[in-house]
Amino acid sequence: MKLTIRLLRYLLMIVLTLIFIFPFFWMISTSLKTYIESIQFPPAMLPKSLQFSNYAEAWERVRFFHFGMNSIIVTVLTMIGQLFVCVPAAYAFARKKFALSGFFFALVLVDLMLPAQVTFVPIYVLLSDFGWIDTYQGLIVPFTFSSFTIFFMTQAFKQINSELLDAARLDKATELKIMVRIMLPIAKPYIITVMLFTAIGKWNDYFWTLILTNSESVRTLPIAVKGLLDVGDGVNQWNISMAGNVLLMAPVLVLYLIANRFIKNAFVYGGIK
């Protein structure tokens, strides 16, 4: 009885792994096939010879350098912006007592309860009044505010021992010093965590980039890679599309492999608290 349950568990785990690994395997395998191989029936599990030229072609067609630079610019500047907008606010909410703190914290949390998908039309109108459609600032400034980052950092700052801060104040440390020399180093793991969230989210963002851009000048990678599928003559070269897709995923997957445990804990922590 015990043995059957154990075997069943292993079997379930193998099935689960297959369900989640196979699409990735199939994508990589297809990305290295010739066009003819990619559409043959019955499908071949592995390519006969590895067509690395597919990657070169996908790179060219997507204009990977151009859109990749856009992705990097938008991602990095959004992260920096959040450090200046969200971290001080979280510090104030966690560590200061002031009259309207409850009201303003609720205001920040409205955003957590209501996804921006609910109000994207007025947000679009507002940004177009600013003349921010098709600009970097349009893709960055609104996202330097993140209710999630504020919420997460507020929790982190609340955990810091207040005696430490009192001691620093007795030593006449300035606010800036307390923040930069004491709070930030202690909260560093949390900051890295939220910045990981921000980076992955921004790198992967499709919805806002689609809505806030009309031209290719500031568009980011996901939309460009998606463009590989929209070929005019109706025949999709799946091998090239898959190569482009691997290129799009690679940075995030490498990051995930390096920081696997860390990211997982971060997601759990961030989701629950």
Partner 1 sequence: MQENIPSKQLHYRKGGPSLNKPGRLLSRALNKVLQNPYVLIAPAVILASLFSVYPILFAVKVSFMNWDVVTGEQSFAGLDNYRSIFADPDAIQVLKNTLIYAFFTVCFGLVFAVAIGILLQKSTFLTNLVQSVIFTPHIVSFVSVTIMWMWLLDPQMGIVNYLLKMLGFEPQLWMMGPKTSLLSIVIVSIWKGIGFSAMLVIAGLQGIPKYIYEAAKLDRSGRWSTLFRITIPLLSPTLFFMLITSTIGAFSSFDVVNLMTGGGPQGSSNLIVHWIYQIGFLKFQLGKAMAASVLFLILIGFISLMNFMFFSKKVHY
Dig out the tokens for 114 from the structure.
């209501």
**Cβ 42 to partner 1 shortest distance, Å:** 6
Between 218 and 245, CB nearer to partner 1: 245
Q: Could you write out the three-class secondary structure of 90-137?
A: HHHHHHCCCCCHHHHHHHHHHHHHCCHHHHHHHHHHHHHHCCCCCCHH
Query: Smaller CB distance to partner 1: residue 73 or 173?
Result: 173
Instruction: Residue 61: name the closest of 252, 231, 234 by CA.
Output: 231
Complex with partner 1: residue 49 or 113, whichever CB lies closer: 113
Shortest Cβ distance from residue 212 to partner 1 (Å)? 11
Q: How far apart are CA 21 and CA 65, in angstroms?
A: 29
| Residue partners of 161: CB distance under 8 A and separation at least 6 | none
- The distance of closest approach from Cβ of residue 52 to partner 1 in the complex, given in angstroms and rounded to an integer, is 19
In the complex with partner 1, which residue's Cβ is closer, 38 or 54? 38
Burial 178-212 (b: 16+ CB within 10 A, else e): bbeebbeeebeebbebbbbbbbbebbbbeebbebb
In the complex with partner 1, the residue whose CB is nearer, 60 or 175, is 175
Tokens representing 168?
């620093």
User: What's the rounded Cα separation, in Å, for the pair 169 and 95?
Assistant: 13
Smallest separation (angstroms) from partner 1 to the CB of 65: 18
Q: Which is nearer to partner 1, 59 or 104 (CB)?
A: 104
* Smallest separation, CB 267 to partner 1 (Å): 6
CA atoms 34, 40, 44, 48: torsion sign: negative
Looking from the CA of 165 toward its CB, the CA atoms found within 13 Å total 18
Helices (H) and strands (E) in the chain, counts: 16, 0
CB nearer partner 1, residue 80 or residue 116: 116
Residue 195 to residue 193: CA distance in whole angstroms: 5
Q: Minimum distance between the CB of residue 159 and partner 1, rounded to whole angstroms?
A: 18
In whole angstroms, how close is the CB of 30 to partner 1 at the nearest point? 7
